């Protein structure tokens, strides 16, 4: 199984400031056949189901605000919230779909 | 609008069985893989099981292999998770999840829609 790790475990950011979440996979999730990264990001707010934010490591799902962006290479990935809003308080998970799905442990984002 | 509605959760004793169901609507059910993902209270997300569009590919997390069985009925647009030999560590909120493609892994296999979840509590 591909093991996903995330850092930090939690972070608190002032409104309007940048939040950066890191994710690492135990092996590459870059496909050499299509040069795509098999990595997604989800937002999970309390009392709601998770919401897909990003797939292919950097493609925003329809309806996701432009302040959310994803980047990365074969094993190291980043989710950035460029200007944190109050409604962004949530736990954020990375997930690989290169092989049977595995999630990172999550990063809790709060307002400072 | 994609809708996934889980049912069947509840309180069950260790060693007993429970059957979860998911009713799907708002999309062409037989074109997409569907999965179960769970969240233990206060912890992260864990993929449990998935079935491809035509049931040709089925797989399970090691933690449930041999105890859980997933199945789908495309005519009824429904997904079922039969859970046997339940353990305390199976206590979780179980989500029915739609994949973005018909396959379990690889191209397009992210999770694009989630149900509200059904709570399973395993306790004596």
Look at residue B108 in the predicted model and tell me its pLDDT: 79
Alpha-carbon span B77 to B75, nearest angstrom:
6
pLDDT on residue B11: 98
Low-confidence stretches of chain A (pLDDT < 70) are none
Partner-chain contact A101 B117, CB within 8 Å: no
Interval A77-97: pLDDT, tens: 999 999 999 999 999 999 999
Q: How confident is residue B42, by pLDDT bands cut at 50, 70 and 90?
A: confident
Contact A100 B59 (CB under 8 A): yes
Please give the pLDDT value at position B107.
Answer: 79
Half-sphere exposure of residue A23: CA atoms within 13 angstroms, side-chain side: 33
Task: Measure A32 CA to nearest chain B CA, in Å.
Answer: 12
pLDDT at A10: 97
Which chain A positions have a beta carbon within 8 Å of B95's beta carbon? 49-50
Predicted pLDDT of residue B20:
98
Mean pLDDT of chain B: 96
State yes or no: pLDDT of B29 exceeds 90. yes
Average pLDDT over residues B36-41: 94
Instruction: Output the average pLDDT for chain A.
Output: 96
Rounded to a whole number of angstroms, the distance from the CA of B55 to the nearest CA of chain A is 16
pLDDT for the residue numbered A17 = 98
- Give the distance from residue B89's alpha carbon to the nearest chain A alpha carbon, in angstroms: 17
Tracing tokens 């864990």 back to the chain, one arrives at B46
- Measure the CA dihedral B112/B113/B117/B122, to 10°: -30
């Amino acid at each position: 199984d591909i093991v996903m790790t995330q850092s930090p475990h939690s972070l608190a950011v002032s409104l309007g400031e940048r939040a950066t979440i890191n994710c690492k996979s135990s092996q590459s999730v870059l496909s050499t056949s299509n040069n795509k990264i098999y990595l997604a990001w989800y937002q999970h707010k309390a009392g709601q189901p998770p919401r897909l934010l990003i797939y292919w490591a950097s493609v925003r799902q329809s309806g996701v605000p432009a302040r959310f962006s994803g980047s990365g290479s074969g094993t190291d990935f980043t989710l950035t919230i460029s200007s944190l809003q109050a409604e962004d308080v949530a736990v954020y998970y990375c997930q690989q779909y290169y092989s049977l799905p595995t999630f990172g442990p999550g990063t809790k984002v709060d307002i400072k | 609008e994609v809708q996934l509605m889980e049912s069947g959760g509840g309180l069950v004793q260790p060693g007993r069985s429970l059957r979860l169901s998911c009713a799907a609507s708002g999309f062409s059910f037989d074109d997409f893989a569907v999965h179960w993902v769970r969240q233990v209270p206060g912890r992260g997300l864990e993929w449990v099981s998935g079935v491809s569009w035509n049931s040709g590919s089925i797989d399970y997390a090691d933690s449930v292999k041999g105890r859980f069985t997933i199945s789908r009925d495309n005519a009824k647009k429904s997904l079922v998770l039969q859970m046997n030999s339940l353990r305390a560590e199976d206590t979780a909120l179980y989500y029915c999840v739609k994949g973005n493609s018909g396959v379990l892994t690889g191209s397009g296999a992210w999770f694009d829609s989630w149900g509200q979840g059904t709570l399973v509590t395993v306790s004596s």
